[in-house]
Amino acid sequence: MWLQAGFFTYYVQYRLIWLVLFFLLRLFSALPLAILQIVGGAVGIVVYWSSPRYRARLNTNLTSAADLHRFKPQYLKAAISAGMMFGDSLWIWRHQDAVLAKTKIENRDELIYLASNKNGLIVLAPHFGGFEIIPHIFTQEIKTTVMYRPARLSWINQLMTKSRHSSKIQYVPADINGVRLVRRALNNGEVVGIVADQVPSARDGVWATFFNQSAYTTNFPYKLSQKSQAVIIYITAERLALGKGWRFHTQLAKPQPPNDPVFAANEMNNAFEEMILLNPTQYLWSYNRYKNPFGIVTG
């Protein structure tokens, strides 16, 4: 009996803390976008200086890309931008009906036309700028499904799921059920969005080049496109001046040869590189993009 009582007490405390955190996030997200970005940027600085591991990874990844493409690495600015991503996301989740007013999309009609294709549209994006806003450009016209990778900590995942909730976008986890729902969406001629620079699980990707380094890269979009004949488009949302919103950059994928997922992965990574280089500090360089999901060292 006392075990049951202890579990009940723990559950009540857990739910109470979770509700308080959600309430605080909702309250915080009501602030103007500029304020959220300032606060997020400040958090980014604190994390950068307080975590040697985080700082080392950001510096290493950014330095490698800067040496390759000969631009000056701005480490602190990249850390600030990483923090701003959190502020961007809170504002986007809270103001889903107002996001288009904060975006500059010169070719939106073309995007909607591509999305109206009976085979559907696959939208791929990296962790860059205000990437959370990308699926919202399609929702007024076409149903949109976004695949995401759940956070490792369940309470964080629950907070994100609750905060992201939208009547216009279906968010599905990257699991068997999520794959089924994504394929169904494409079969219905809808839009599917994937943040495609995440490292997939072992045997769910291929080795490809990203900023001249070997990166294990998802081949799931390639499989989707081959099976459904859906068009693939790459999109980034570059953050503009403080509180001014985002500018979209798009690039249509080239026709991809059958039975060549490595070609597709390299083509996607190359497209992401080109878009990231438009404003390098806005990429999430702290992400462990070059980790090996097999737990072994590659040659």
pLDDT tens digits along 144-162:
999 988 766 565 666 666 6
Tell me which residue of 84, 18, 28, 54 sits closest to 243, measured CA to CA: 84
Between 155 and 273, the higher pLDDT residue: 273
Torsion sign over Cα 238, 78, 147, 24 = negative
Predicted local confidence at residue 294, as pLDDT: 84
Query: Per DSSP, what are the bridge partners of residue 206?
Result: 217
pLDDT tens digits along 185-197:
999 999 999 999 9
**Which pTM does this prediction carry?**
0.89
Between 4 and 247, the higher pLDDT residue: 247
126 touches 235 (CB < 8 A): no
pLDDT tens digits along 163-214:
676 768 899 988 899 999 999 999 999 999 999 999 998 888 999 999 999 9
Distance (Å, rounded) from C-alpha 299 to C-alpha 284? 25
Predicted local confidence at residue 64, as pLDDT: 96
Residues 6+ apart with CB under 8 A from 249: 235, 236, 238, 275, 278
Compute and round to an integer the Cα radius of gyration of the chain.
20
262 touches 207 (CB < 8 A): yes
Tell me which residue of 13, 12, 18 sits closest to 157, measured CA to CA: 18
